């Protein structure tokens, strides 16, 4: 029956003009291409105005029939209002076999031509098989060597779209995608990833995701990367900055596959180590830790290398040793000599670790003029001359400094006093000091029409000599006269010019008599105050010793050597003589003499029972006036007729005649206290 219907339709359309004429029957609505997933229902629309012929649907140019139920195609139905010319084709529960090109046609009549609609492509989507990575769940690769990894998803319609991901990050480079015909309108999707693995890729997960229009979501499969690589080596210093003279440990930590680093916690070790110093193998040093003791500054910046080897190969890492030490001078220009108006550069280079901070200052000043290895003056004058200090500071390791002298050549500089003095009738000298560089080529004095470099002119003699700080010219005047107190011109020449200075010679004023007398009185008062303080101190000390059995005899002597009248009598402590008889007699009392001075009375010879002490002659056989001793000196007074009286000289004289004086003192107790 299906075959008969097809034959009739074909004969009816024989001679049909393409698309028919636009006179009567025509398409109001033509079918459009559509794609659906397998199992879904799809409707292809067709509406014809002024239908005159027989309407039917074709699939891939094969007539399906004009009956609305389409016998032989149970899932196909023509629907719509016939009166309105609607001939919609409905396909239920679509299958892959429904995929094809459909067309709506109206057969010709005696008066009208037949018409055909545009082709409508019905596409059936079919999900692919689950994706598969051909290398399996783990892929072994070698770091730095390219490796292809393949993922495929078969039997999809259309072919599956495949994407690559690594630890959640999509890979967009190094991918080749191809499709393969799987038959029955199915296709296989194949994606090849060219991987260039790094050490950091070890253990990461590769994901292949597949998708096509027949899928609600994605499907994926994974594989883990096993990246074999040479050891990744890191060398560390503990401590990072080594103080000079201390110890340091260099540790070699590596990450390798295959192989693991032996750590302090302990783990298997398939890595071999070898240490080098500046490229030279250190014999026997094949552990992970290299110990260096008593590190010196010469070890600073030395390069230590750790070689780590596993089954894949060898890798190395270096560390440059950093030794902390204080500043050490490298280069210093001790003296720089330049002419005035030119530039000057002072150089002072230091080493140290950390690098020292270098500061410049003029000697004696705290103002910092600059920093760095050099100090430059673009234009110098003679005020720049002097000593400069460059100080290098290394935090935590101390500081050091060096001196650089800058000499600025210029015209002579005269630094003598403008007014100088001499005494009339005595020898006088006038000095002229030239204190700069270059040294003077000539120095001359001029006065009263006379010029004298060196030599003698009448009572005037000029001499020159080198002294610390320059060259000195001295003009000596013998037996200075009143006319000599005048102005003298000192002129100095050098290769850069000349300088003159007027020096005035004035008469030296004698010391006023009032000043001499005042000085003498002040000295005398000072001596009296000192003696009084000594007396008070001794008197208080004697009172504190009152409980002892020591008998103290005090003689009070004035400055002229006489004793003062007695003020106290001898007092016996043991008043009960009978009771004292039974006791052991005490040892003989010791006597001490304290000398005081009284300048009010020079006539002391008749006021002492001991008489004037004999004069004491010090080594050398001369006397020293007590008033003109160390405490005061008056060149205008001469007391050579009076012998020196001092505490030591008088005490020696007293000790020499102790027995007679003591006996006499017992008969006439004078300022003696028996305690």
Q: Is the pLDDT of residue 584 over 80?
A: no
Query: Measured between alpha carbons, how far is 675 from 552 in angstroms, rounded to an integer?
Result: 7
Q: What is the pLDDT of residue 649?
A: 38
Specify the pairing of strand 88-91 against strand 42-44.
Answer: antiparallel
Residue the block writes with tokens 């398939």: 270
Q: What is the pLDDT of residue 228?
A: 93
Q: Is the pLDDT of residue 518 over 90?
A: no
Cβ count within 10 A of residue 529: 10
Q: What is the pLDDT of residue 258?
A: 87
Highest mean pLDDT: which range of 131-145, 514-528, 556-570: 131-145
Q: pLDDT tens-digit profile of 90-131?
A: 999 999 999 999 999 999 998 889 999 999 999 999 999 999
Query: Measured between alpha carbons, how far is 499 from 415 in angstroms, rounded to an integer?
Result: 11
Q: Is the pLDDT of residue 358 over 70?
A: yes
Q: What is the pLDDT of residue 498?
A: 94
Q: Is the pLDDT of residue 537 over 90?
A: no
Q: What percent of the chain has pLDDT over 70?
A: 75
CA 338 to chain centre: 36
Residues whose CB is less than 8 angstroms from the CB of residue 243 and which lie 6 or more positions away in sequence, other chains included: 295, 323, 324, 325, 397
Q: Which of 70-74, 77-81, 460-464, 532-536 has the lowest mean pLDDT?
A: 532-536
Cβ count within 10 A of residue 65: 21
Query: Measured between alpha carbons, how far is 428 from 423 in angstroms, rounded to an integer?
Result: 7
- The whole-number average pLDDT for the span 178-200 is 94
pLDDT level of residue 540 (50, 70, 90 thresholds): confident
Q: What is the pLDDT of residue 278?
A: 94
User: In this predicted model, which residue has the larger pLDDT, 599 or 345?
Assistant: 345
Query: Measured between alpha carbons, how far is 543 from 551 in angstroms, rounded to an integer?
Result: 12
**pTM beyond cutoff 0.85:** no
- The whole-number average pLDDT for the span 649-666 is 42
Q: What is the pLDDT of residue 621?
A: 42
SS3 letters for 280-342?
A: EECCCCCCCEEEECCCCHHHCCCEEEEEEECCCCEEEEEEECCEEEEEEEEEECCEEEEECCC
- The whole-number average pLDDT for the span 263-269 is 49
Q: Is 122 helix (H, G, I), strand (E, B) or coil?
A: strand
Taking the chain, what is the end-to-end CA distance rounded to the nearest angstrom?
172
Q: What is the pLDDT of residue 125?
A: 96
Q: What is the pLDDT of residue 302?
A: 94
Q: Which of 5-19, 186-200, 396-410, 428-442 has the lowest mean pLDDT?
A: 5-19
Q: Is the pLDDT of residue 669 over 60?
A: no
pLDDT level of residue 592 (50, 70, 90 thresholds): very low
Mean pLDDT, all residues of the chain: 80
Q: Output DSSP code: residue 509.
A: P
Q: What is the pLDDT of residue 513?
A: 65
User: In this predicted model, which residue has the larger pLDDT, 124 or 596?
Assistant: 124
pLDDT level of residue 539 (50, 70, 90 thresholds): confident
Specify the pairing of strand 55-59 against strand 62-65.
Answer: antiparallel
Q: pLDDT tens-digit profile of 455-499?
A: 999 999 999 999 987 999 999 999 999 999 999 999 999 999 999
Q: What is the pLDDT of residue 268?
A: 55
pLDDT level of residue 23 (50, 70, 90 thresholds): low
Q: What is the pLDDT of residue 259?
A: 76
pLDDT level of residue 546 (50, 70, 90 thresholds): low
CA 288 to chain centre: 31
Q: Is the pLDDT of residue 437 over 60?
A: yes
Q: What is the pLDDT of residue 509?
A: 83
Contact 149, 141 (CB under 8 A): no
Picking from 502, 513, 452, the residue whose alpha carbon sits closest to that of residue 477 is: 452
- The whole-number average pLDDT for the span 266-288 is 86
User: In this predicted model, which residue has the larger pLDDT, 523 or 317?
Assistant: 317
Q: Which of 229-238, 362-371, 397-406, 509-518 has the lowest mean pLDDT?
A: 509-518
Q: What is the pLDDT of residue 172?
A: 95
pLDDT level of residue 224 (50, 70, 90 thresholds): very high
Picking from 370, 352, 351, the residue whose alpha carbon sits closest to that of residue 360 is: 370
Angle of helix 647-656 relative to helix 658-667, nearest 10 degrees, comes to 90
Q: Is the pLDDT of residue 629 over 60?
A: no
């Amino acid at each position: 029956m299906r075959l008969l219907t097809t034959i009739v339709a074909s004969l009816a359309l024989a001679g049909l003009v393409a698309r028919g004429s636009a006179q009567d029957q025509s398409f109001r609505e033509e079918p459009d291409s559509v794609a659906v997933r397998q199992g879904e229902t799809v409707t292809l629309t067709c509406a014809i105005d002024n239908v005159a012929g027989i309407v039917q649907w074709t699939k891939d140019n094969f007539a399906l029939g004009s009956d609305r139920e389409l016998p032989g195609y149970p899932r196909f139905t023509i629907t719509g209002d016939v009166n309105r010319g609607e001939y919609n084709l409905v396909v239920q529960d679509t299958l892959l076999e429904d995929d094809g090109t459909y067309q709506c046609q109206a057969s010709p009549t005696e008066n009208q031509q037949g018409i055909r609609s545009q082709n409508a492509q019905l596409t059936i989507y079919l999900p692919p098989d689950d994706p598969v990575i051909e290398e399996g769940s783990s892929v072994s690769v070698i770091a730095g060597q390219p490796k292809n990894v393949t993922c495929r998803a078969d039997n999809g319609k259309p072919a599956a779209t495949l994407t690559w991901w690594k630890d959640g990050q999509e890979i967009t480079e190094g991918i080749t995608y191809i499709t393969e015909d799987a038959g029955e309108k199915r296709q296989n999707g194949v994606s090849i990833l060219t991987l260039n693995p790094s050490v950091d890729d070890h253990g990461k997960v590769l994901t292949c995701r597949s998708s096509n229009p027949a899928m609600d979501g994605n499907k994926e499969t994974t594989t883990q990367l096993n990246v074999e690589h040479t050891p990744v080596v890191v060398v560390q210093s503990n401590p990072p900055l080594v103080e000079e003279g201390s110890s340091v440990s260099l540790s070699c930590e590596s990450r390798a596959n295959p192989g693991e680093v032996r750590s302090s916690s302990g783990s298997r070790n398939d890595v071999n180590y070898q240490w080098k110093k500046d490229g030279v193998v250190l014999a026997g040093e094949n552990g992970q830790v290299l110990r260096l003791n008593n590190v010196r500054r010469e070890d600073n910046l030395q390069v230590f290398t750790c070689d780590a080897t596993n089954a894949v190969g060898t890798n190395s890492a270096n560390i440059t040793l950093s030794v902390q030490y204080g500043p050490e001078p490298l280069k210093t220009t001790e003296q720089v000599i330049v002419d005035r108006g030119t530039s000057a550069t002072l150089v002072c280079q230091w080493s140290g670790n950390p690098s020292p901070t270098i500061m410049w200052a003029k000697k004696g000043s705290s103002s910092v003029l600059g920093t760095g290895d050099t100090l430059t003056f673009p234009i110098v004058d003679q005020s720049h001359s002097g000593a400069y200090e460059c100080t290098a500071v290394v935090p935590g390791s101390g500081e050091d400094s060096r001196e650089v002298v800058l000499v600025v050549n210029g015209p002579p500089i005269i630094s003598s006093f403008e007014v100088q003095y001499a005494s009339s009738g005595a020898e006088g000298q006038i000095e002229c000091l030239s204190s700069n560089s270059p040294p003077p080529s000539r120095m001359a004095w001029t006065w009263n029409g006379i010029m004298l470099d060196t030599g003698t002119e009448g009572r005037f003699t000029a001499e020159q000599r080198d002294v610390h700080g320059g060259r000195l010219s001295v003009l000596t005047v013998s037996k200075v006269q009143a006319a000599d107190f005048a102005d003298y011109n000192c002129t100095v020449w050098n290769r850069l010019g000349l300088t003159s200075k007027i020096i005035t010679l004035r008469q030296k004023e004698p010391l006023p008599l009032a000043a001499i007398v005042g000085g003498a009185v002040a000295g005398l008062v000072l001596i009296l105050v000192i003696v009084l303080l000594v007396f008070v101190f001794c008197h208080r000390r004697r009172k504190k010793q009152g409980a002892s059995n020591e008998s103290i005899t005090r003689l009070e002597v004035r400055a002229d050597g006489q004793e003062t009248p007695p003020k106290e009598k001898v007092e016996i402590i043991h008043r009960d003589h009978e009771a004292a008889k039974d006791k052991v007699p005490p040892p003989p009392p010791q006597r001490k003499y304290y000398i005081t001075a009284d300048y009010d009375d020079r006539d002391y010879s008749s006021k002492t029972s001991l008489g004037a002490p004999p004069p004491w002659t010090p080594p050398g056989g001369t006397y020293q006036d007590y008033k003109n001793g160390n405490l005061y000196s008056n060149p205008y007074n001469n007391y050579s007729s009076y012998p020196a009286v001092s505490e030591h000289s008088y005490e020696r004289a007293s000790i020499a005649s102790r027995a007679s004086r003591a006996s006499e003192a017992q008969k006439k107790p004078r300022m003696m206290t028996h305690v």
